[in-house]
Amino acid sequence: MPNKPSERRVVMAKRVAREWLSSRSSPEYRIRVYHNQDCTNYVNLLRAFRDGHRRIAGVQPIPDLGLQNELGGFTVWSSDYKSLETLKVFFESKGMDTSWIW
């Protein structure tokens, strides 16, 4: 069988791919915030916070903050776990339900 790749080459290719991916990726953490109709402006507040136009008390700026508005709530993500934990406490202090950070 002349066209069958050797097992050694396959293992080497997997190792190179794993090292390449790990050098170019970073961890990402997410929380889901559930709200009612009275709390719909929080996504706009978070966008202004991310862009540096607004401040949230006790929360440091998060430059890589991502937002996605969804039915019944929104999802927030970042590579900064501590800042997301602070945001989670902020939303819970406002009476909103949140998911755990994943």
In tens digits, the chain (102 residues) has pLDDT values of 456 666 677 778 888 888 888 888 888 999 999 976 666 688 888 999 999 899 888 888 888 999 998 888 899 999 989 989 999 998 888 888 898 888
- Give all domains of the chain, ordered by start, each with its CATH number: 26-98 (3.30.1370)
Report pLDDT for 2: 56
Strand order in the sheet with 66-70: 66-70, 73-78, 29-34, 97-98
